[in-house]
Structure formats: C-alpha cells, structure tokens
Structure 1
Amino acid sequence: MSVMTWPDHLLTLAEFDQLPEDNSRRYELQEGVLQVTPKAAPFHQFVIARLTSELDRRLPAGWAAVPEAEVVMAEKWPPTLRIPDVIVVGLDRVQERPSKFHAQDVAIAVEVLSPGSRRMDNLVKRHEYADAGIPFYWILDIRSKLELTAHRLVDRAYKIEFEGTGTYLTDEPFDLKIELDRLGTRIVPPS
C-alpha cells in the first residue's frame, strides 16, 4: 500500500486533477486547501442512489440527476471544487461527458447530511453554493425520519422554501413531487 504525500501549499485545479485516484475517501478543494472526508456510510449511499433514481423518474425531458460529480465552484485562485451528493444538470451537458461540471451547469445541488458533515453542509457549502449562483440547494437529513430543507437562491442568499418530512411538492425549478419516506426504503413493484 502506498502512502499519499500531503501537499504543503494551496492546490490549483490542475494539481488537484493529478492526485492519485482513491475511492476510499472523498477529496474536495476549499479555497485551494485539500479537504478529505471518509466514504459515506451504506445508508447514506442508499439514499443518494434512491434520490438520484427518483429525480431521474420525475425530471422533465432534457434534465438529469447525477450522483457525486465534481463541481467547480470557483475556478479563480484559490479554487474551490465540491462533490455534492446529487446534482441536477442539463442532459446535453451530461452527454458532453465533461470531467467535471461548473456551478453554472447546476440547477439543484443536494447534500445528504452525515454525522461529520452537518456544519459543512448547513453553513459552509450553503454559502459557497449561493456565492457560485446555484439556484436551488437541498439538504436531506437522514438521522431518523428523512427531512428535507429546500433552499431557493434570492439576492445571492438562500431562502428556505420547504422544511419538513413526508411529501415535497414544488414547481420550481421543475414540477416535482418527492416522497421523502420512500427514499429510505426499497419499493419493489408488483410482478
């Protein structure tokens, strides 16, 4: 097993791209500083997969839900690159097969809270995503009953549009109905 040498300086996006591939952790850049977090727990990953699938079923033509894709929030020095749990982007952009997306590509960014990410997702990323101009930011809390906080960008800050459990209905940026309780279970269609 090789040991990764930690950088002793702020990274550029090019240097970030040169890091060795490591699927055991998540690597992001916050103003050039390498941020490393553990791989998400199995239930967290399950909810991401279910939400991605549910969004793909319900999004209008021309849009797609993409799990755990790199998104450049700020390209200028020092750069910030995040990996939201799920993003909604134009299908044409996905079909271009970019190595990473840019914030202006993203209609909705979703973070599923983990025990070690609550502050980062509720405070830091909320401000970064707003500064980057992402129109909608959803935070899904999976501690007990799945609870969604849906934010909408208004004057470069997020305003809470919905906070709760059960069913989330919205008409912006698309007509969507998300049954939050279903995201934590596997519904098998009748044969």
Structure 2
Amino acid sequence: MTVEMHWPDHLLTLEDWTALPEDNSRSYELVEGVLVVSPRPVLRHQFAVWQLAAQLHPQLPGQLCAVTEAEVIIDAALPPTVRVPDVVVIPNKSLEDDLARAQPEDVVLAVEILSDGSRRTDRVTKFFEYADAGIEHYWLVDLDEPASLAAYRLVDGNYELVAEQSGQMGLELAETPITIDIAALTSTRTDR
C-alpha cells in the first residue's frame, strides 16, 4: 500500500512539524521552517550510532542518559529549527517526562556521525547552530578508516577542539571520565 504524502508549500511552524505523519523510511529535520528530507543512514552508520550510545550510557553519571535520534529544538522562534543528532546525552528527567523532543539547554552532548550528504552540514552548519543554542559538548565521528572522533567543548560561545584521535579516547563529560573505543564503532564481533 502506498501512502500519499502532501509536501508543505510554506514555512513550517513547530505545530506543523509535530502534525507531520510519522515516516521512518527517511530522516527529517526542520531548518528555519524548511522541511529537510534525506535518506535513512546506511547500516554501518546505524551500527556506529548504536555502539556509541551503548558505550556512553553506562559511563554517564546517574542523572544522565544517552539517546539516539532524539529531536532537539534548536530554535523555537519562527521560523523554527529542529535537528536530530545521532546521539544526545540528556537528563533522565527528559525520559521520565516522556518528552517528544529535547530543549537545547537540556542537551549535555550532541554527536553527529559523518556520512555522505551530511559532512558539510555537520561540520559547518550544525557546528554553529549547536554552539549558538548553548549545547556544551559536540562530537563529530568520522567512520572513514581509521575511524576518529573530534570532541569540542563550548567556551565563550564558540566550540574549541578538546581532543581528536582514533583508537581509544578518554574524555570528560559532565565532570565524569568517559572512555570511547572508537574502533568498536565500526567493528563487528568477528573483527575482534
């Protein structure tokens, strides 16, 4: 069965965004009221997202959790912007309250895993949007061999590079030491 989608012919409000039908066949974001549609990530990308969240979550302080593909309202003013980072770290209270989307002030960390079609957006546009929204930590993961992670922290309104490397990486997040096995983001059990 084919469902016919009528695409918006105007800048969307947050109410319009919320009213869109659920469709998991593609990825959607809202950028200054414009609906941005892209293909779903390939399996390698999805595996890396899952692996990263699985590594992060048990190392976080008890009041925080790692969530994949959560909507974050970057700017609620008209025309609004809603981004969907690959992984976010947010307070457990956001889960307990069963919120549909997170506010930027609740996002401790936003992570984007670079992929074809999103590299410029993740490295340039989202870099500045997330900083402007006040998200304290931003990580960019590049899965090209050797897989690497670049970690940024917000300092005086701008992101500064804290660390960038492949292999194992030790970082501090919410005053807690975190270790990420970057190679594990792309390796299956048979690779180890």
User: If the length of structure 2 is used for normalisation, what is the TM-score?
Assistant: 0.94
- What pairs with 1:28-47 in structure 2 (closer than 5 Å)? 28-47=29-48
SS in structure 2 at match of 1:139: strand
Cα distance in 2 between the residues matched to 1:175 and 1:156: 23
SS in structure 2 at match of 1:175: strand
1:135 aligned partner: 136
1:55 aligned partner: 56
2:183 aligned partner: 181
Task: Compute the displacement of 1:187 (Å).
Answer: 4.5
Task: Compute the displacement of 1:121 (Å).
Answer: 0.3
Task: Compute the displacement of 1:12 (Å).
Answer: 0.2
SS in structure 2 at match of 1:81: strand
Cα distance in 1 between the residues matched to 2:60 and 2:142: 22
Task: Compute the displacement of 1:57 (Å).
Answer: 1.8
Residues 30-39 or 161-170, more deviating: 161-170
2:92 aligned partner: 91
1:14 aligned partner: 15
Identity %: 43
SS in structure 2 at match of 1:77: coil
Task: Compute the displacement of 1:117 (Å).
Answer: 0.5
Cα distance in 2 between the residues matched to 1:37 and 1:167: 31
| Structure 2: runs of 5 or more not aligned | none
Cα distance in 2 between the residues matched to 1:155 and 1:116: 30
2:83 aligned partner: 82
Instruction: Please give the root-mean-square deviation of Cα atoms over the aligned residues, in Å.
Output: 1.2
Q: Which amino acid in the other structure matches residue 144 of structure 1?
A: E
1:110 aligned partner: 111
User: If the length of structure 1 is used for normalisation, what is the TM-score?
Assistant: 0.95
Task: Compute the displacement of 1:185 (Å).
Answer: 2.2
| Structure 1: runs of 5 or more not aligned | none
Task: Compute the displacement of 1:58 (Å).
Answer: 1.2
**Residues 172 and 139 (structure 1), Cα distance of their counterparts in 2 relative to 1, 3 Å cut:** same
Cα distance in 1 between the residues matched to 2:4 and 2:117: 24
Task: Compute the displacement of 1:139 (Å).
Answer: 0.4
| 1:5 and 2:12 are equivalent in the alignment | no
Residues 56-65 or 164-173, more deviating: 164-173
Cα distance in 2 between the residues matched to 1:57 and 1:84: 20
Residues 172-181 or 141-150, more deviating: 172-181
Segments ≥4 residues shifted beyond 4 Å: none
